[in-house]
Structure 1
Amino acid sequence: MAQPIALIARSLVRERTRAGLSLGEVARRAGIAKSTLSQLEGGNGNPSLETLWSLCVALDIPFARLLEPQAPATQVIRRGEGTKVVAGQANYEAILLAACPPGARRDIYLLLTQPGADRESQPHPPGSVEHIIVTRGRALVGLISAPEELGEGDYICYPADQAHLFKALEPDTTALLVAEQN
C-alpha cells in the first residue's frame, strides 16, 4: 500500500487536473501558498487536516477522495468510436484518445510485430500506463489477465504497472505505442 503522502499527492494532481484548475488557482481557493501545494503534489511535506480539508473544498471533492487509491482501468476505443471534433473548412476529424496528465513523461514507439513472438512484459514502475493503436493487422493486447483483441484503428489504454502482453495475430502487424510514466 502506498504511503499516505504519496497517495494524497497522486489524488491532488488527479483531482486538480480533473477540475481543470491551475496550481495557483487551487492554492488561492484553498488559502495556502502555491509552493505548499506544489510540495504536496510532489509527495513532500506533512499536511495538516485543515490544509487537506481546505484543498478538498477548493477542489469541490469529499475528503475521502484524497485517501482513495484510484485503480487504473483498461480502456478500449474501437475505430470510428470516441469523441470526435470535425473541422468546418477541411476534410479533417480529430478523435481524442487520451490526455497527458501534468508532469508525466511519454515515449512513443512504432511496433513492428509478427505472430509467434509474443511480447510478455513484467510490470513497469507504479503509475505507468501504456496506450496502443493498431495501425495494421490484428493483435491481442493488454493485461495478461484480460487481453483485448484489437484490429486496425482500435485503441487500448491499460495500467502497465501490471504484467501485460502484445501478441500479433497476423503477419506484419504494426502499432503505435505510447508509454507514459508519472
Structure 2
Amino acid sequence: MTPITIIANGLVRERQRAGLSLAEVARRAGIAKSTLSQLEAGNGNPSIETLWALCVALNIPFARLMEPEEKRLQVIRRGEGPTVTAELADYQAVLLATCPPGARRDIYLLNTQPGSERCSQPHPPGTIEHIIITQGRALVGPEVSPVELHPGDYICYAGDEPHIFRALEPDTLAVMVIEHS
C-alpha cells in the first residue's frame, strides 16, 4: 500500500469516526473541499502543513493518519488472557478488552437456538463487536471466517463488515458488547 493510499484511507476513516462531512472537515482545516475530496480519493501530494491542519480539524494525533486500518479479530479461549488475582478472596479478573477514548458500548444478553443463524449487515464504520459465550456453542464472527466458540471463549471482530452468529447447541447464551466510536 502506498503512503498516499494509507493517508487517503486514514482521512476517510477518521472523518467517518468523527461523524463529520467533507465540507465541515475542509472548513475546519482551512482547505478547499475539492482538495480534501481529492486527498480522500488518493490523488494529490499533500504538504505536511495540509495534513497537520486536517489532523487538528479531526482532533487526532498526526501519526494516526499514517496508520493502516486494522481489521481486528481477536479470540481469547477460556483460561487464557491477562489475569489479575485478588489477595483476600478467591477472585480472578481476565482483561478481555479496553474501551478506546470517546467510544460508547452497548451490552446485550443473547439467548439463541440452533437452526437459524443471525446474519448481520455491516454497522457504521468503526463498529467493533465483542462476544463472550456463557453457555452452549456458537459459530461467530466475520461472515467469511467465523470461529467456533465454547463457554468462556471471547471474540472481538469488526462489526462494520458482514458477520454471523449461529448457535450450535440449544439455549446458547452469550454476552454481546457493541462498541461505537
Residue 90 of structure 1: CA displacement? 1.2
| Corresponding residue number in structure 1 for 2:81 | 82
Seen in structure 2, the aligned counterparts of structure 1 residues 155 and 49 have a Cα distance that, compared at 3 Å, is same
Q: Secondary structure at the match of 1:52?
A: helix
| Corresponding residue number in structure 2 for 1:128 | 127
Listed as ranges, the matches of 1:1-182 within 5 Å are 5-7=11-13, 44=25, 45-46=28-29, 49-50=48-49, 52=52, 66-182=65-181
Aligned residues: CA RMSD: 3.0
Seen in structure 2, the aligned counterparts of structure 1 residues 3 and 77 have a Cα distance that, compared at 3 Å, is closer
Q: Is the 8 A contact 1:108 1:176 kept in 2?
A: yes
| Residue identity in the other structure for 2:52 | L
Alpha-carbon distance in structure 2 between the residues aligned to 1:150 and 1:4: 32
Alpha-carbon distance in structure 1 between the residues aligned to 2:16 and 2:132: 27
* TM-score computed with the length of structure 1 as normaliser: 0.70
Alpha-carbon distance in structure 2 between the residues aligned to 1:111 and 1:8: 31
Seen in structure 2, the aligned counterparts of structure 1 residues 95 and 10 have a Cα distance that, compared at 3 Å, is farther
**Could you tell me the percent identity over the aligned residues?**
55
Q: Secondary structure at the match of 1:132?
A: strand
Seen in structure 2, the aligned counterparts of structure 1 residues 171 and 144 have a Cα distance that, compared at 3 Å, is same
Residue 88 of structure 1: CA displacement? 1.2
Alpha-carbon distance in structure 2 between the residues aligned to 1:99 and 1:10: 22
Alpha-carbon distance in structure 2 between the residues aligned to 1:114 and 1:64: 45
Alpha-carbon distance in structure 1 between the residues aligned to 2:10 and 2:154: 33
* Structure 2 spans left out of the alignment, 5+ residues: 31-46, 56-60
| Corresponding residue number in structure 2 for 1:18 | none
* TM-score computed with the length of structure 2 as normaliser: 0.70
Q: Which portions of structure 1, spanning 4 or more consecutive aligned residues, are displaced by more than 6 angstroms?
A: none
Residue 69 of structure 1: CA displacement? 3.1
CA deviations over 1:11-40 (Å, ceiling 9, x no partner):
9x9xxxxxxxxxxxxxxxxxxxxxxxxx9x
Residue 102 of structure 1: CA displacement? 1.1
| Corresponding residue number in structure 2 for 1:27 | none
Q: Secondary structure at the match of 2:29?
A: coil
Q: Is the 8 A contact 1:5 1:46 kept in 2?
A: no
